[in-house]
Chains A and B, each alone.
Chain A
Amino acid sequence: MYENQKLGLAYISPYIIGLIVFTAFPFISSLIISFTDYDLINTPSFVGLDNYAYMVSDDTFYKSLGVTFAYVFLTIPLKLSFALFIAFVLNFKLRGIKAFRTAYYIPSILGSSVAIAVLWRAIFSLDGLLNTFIGYVGIPPVAWLGEPHFAMLSVTLLRVWQFGSAMVIFLAALQSVPQSQYEAAMIDGASKWHMFTKITIPLITPVIFFNFIMQTTQAFQEFTAPYVITAGGPAKSTYLFSLYIYETAFKYFDMGYGSALAWVLFVIVGIFTGISFKSSKYWVFYSGDKGGKNGG
Chain B
Amino acid sequence: MIKKSMLCLSISVTLVAGAATVQADELRFSWWGGNSRHEATNAAVDAYEAATNSVVKTEYTGWGGHLERLTTQIAGKTEPDLMQTNWNWLPIFSPKGTGFRDLRDFSSQLDLSNFDESALALGTINGKLNSLPVSMAARIFYYNKDTWAAAGLDYPGTWDELMAAGPVFKEKLGDEYYPLVLEGRDVMAMNRSYMVQKYGIPMIDESKRSFAYSEDQMVEFFTLYADMIKNHVAPSQKYISSYGAANLYEHKPWINGEWAGLYMWNSAINKYGDNLKPPMTMALGSYPIMDGAESSGIFYKPGLMFSISKNSEQPEEAARLLNFLLNEKAGIEIMGLQRSVPLNSYAREVLAANGTLNSSDLTVAGLVQINQLVKKIPTSGYFENPQLVSLFQENIEQIDHGQKTVEEAAKDFYKQGQRILRKAIKD
Given contact pairs A3-B2, A6-B2, A121 touches B244 in the complex (Cβ within 8 A): yes
Check B397–A233 contact: CB distance below 8 A: yes
Check A40–B245 contact: CB distance below 8 A: no
Check B239–A10 contact: CB distance below 8 A: no
Query: Which residue of chain B lies nearest to A247 when distances are taken between CB atoms in the complex?
Result: B390
Whether a CB of chain A sits under 8 angstroms from the CB of B74 is yes
CA distance A101 to B400 in the complex (A): 45
Chain B residues whose CB sits within 8 angstroms of the CB of A11 once the complex forms: 5
Check B241–A234 contact: CB distance below 8 A: yes
Check A143–B2 contact: CB distance below 8 A: no
Chain A residues whose CB sits within 8 angstroms of the CB of B316 once the complex forms: none
Whether a CB of chain B sits under 8 angstroms from the CB of A230 is yes
Whether a CB of chain B sits under 8 angstroms from the CB of A235 is yes
Whether a CB of chain B sits under 8 angstroms from the CB of A71 is no
| Closest CB in chain A relative to B303 CB, distance in Å | 22
Which of A102-110, A123-131, A188-196 makes up part of the contact surface? A123-131
Contact with B along A1-30 (1 / 0, CB 8 A): 001001100110000000000000000000
The number of residues on chain B lying at the interface, defined by a beta carbon within 8 Å of a beta carbon of chain A, is 34
Given contact pairs A3-B2, A41-B74, A253-B92, A234 touches B238 in the complex (Cβ within 8 A): yes
Chain A residues whose CB sits within 8 angstroms of the CB of B394 once the complex forms: 235-236
Query: Which residue of chain A lies nearest to B397 when distances are taken between CB atoms in the complex?
Result: A235
Chain B residues whose CB sits within 8 angstroms of the CB of A62 once the complex forms: none
Interface of A is mostly: loop
Given contact pairs A41-B99, A230-B245, A235 touches B386 in the complex (Cβ within 8 A): no
| Closest CB in chain A relative to B237 CB, distance in Å | 7
Check B252–A127 contact: CB distance below 8 A: yes
Query: Which residue of chain A lies nearest to B386 when distances are taken between CB atoms in the complex?
Result: A251
Chain A residues whose CB sits within 8 angstroms of the CB of B386 once the complex forms: 251-252
Contact with B along A243-260 (1 / 0, CB 8 A): 000010011110000000
Check B5–A10 contact: CB distance below 8 A: yes
Name the one of B242, B246, B403 contacting A146, with C-beta atoms under 8 angstroms. B242
Check A121–B246 contact: CB distance below 8 A: yes
| Closest CB in chain B relative to A148 CB, distance in Å | 7
Check B241–A41 contact: CB distance below 8 A: no
Check B401–A235 contact: CB distance below 8 A: yes
Name the one of A39, A122, A145 contacting B241, with C-beta atoms under 8 angstroms. A145
| Closest CB in chain A relative to B71 CB, distance in Å | 6
Whether a CB of chain A sits under 8 angstroms from the CB of B425 is no
Check A39–B9 contact: CB distance below 8 A: no
Q: Which of B6, B75, B245, B403 has the largest number of chain A CB atoms within 10 A?
A: B245
Query: Which residue of chain A lies nearest to B256 when distances are taken between CB atoms in the complex?
Result: A127
Contact with A along B1-35 (1 / 0, CB 8 A): 01001100100000000000000000000000000
| Closest CB in chain A relative to B280 CB, distance in Å | 18
| Closest CB in chain B relative to A239 CB, distance in Å | 9
Query: Which residue of chain B lies nearest to A228 when distances are taken between CB atoms in the complex?
Result: B245
Name the one of A7, A121, A126 contacting B245, with C-beta atoms under 8 angstroms. A121
Within 8 A of A (CB), among B127-175: none
Chain B residues whose CB sits within 8 angstroms of the CB of A143 once the complex forms: 238-239, 242
CA distance A189 to B72 in the complex (A): 65
CA distance A127 to B398 in the complex (A): 23
Query: Which residue of chain A lies nearest to B387 when distances are taken between CB atoms in the complex?
Result: A252
CA distance A233 to B242 in the complex (A): 9
Within 8 A of A (CB), among B66-115: 67-68, 71-72, 74-75, 92-93, 95, 99
Given contact pairs A41-B75, A253-B92, A148 touches B401 in the complex (Cβ within 8 A): yes
| Closest CB in chain A relative to B419 CB, distance in Å | 10
Whether a CB of chain B sits under 8 angstroms from the CB of A231 is yes
Query: Which residue of chain A lies nearest to B99 when distances are taken between CB atoms in the complex?
Result: A41
Contact with A along B381-396 (1 / 0, CB 8 A): 0000011001000100
Check A230–B244 contact: CB distance below 8 A: yes
15 further contact pairs, Cβ within 8 A, besides A125-B244, A145-B243: A7-B6, A40-B71, A40-B74, A41-B92, A41-B99, A126-B243, A127-B253, A145-B241, A146-B241, A147-B242, A229-B245, A235-B401, A247-B390, A251-B67, A252-B390
Binding site for A on B (CB under 8 A): 2, 5-6, 9, 67-68, 71-72, 74-75, 92-93, 95, 99, 237-239, 241-246, 252-253, 386-387, 390, 394, 397-398, 400-401, 403
Q: List 21 A-B contacts (CB under 8 A).
A: A6-B2, A10-B6, A11-B5, A40-B72, A42-B95, A121-B246, A124-B244, A125-B242, A126-B242, A128-B244, A143-B238, A143-B239, A143-B242, A145-B244, A146-B239, A148-B401, A231-B245, A235-B394, A247-B390, A250-B72, A252-B387
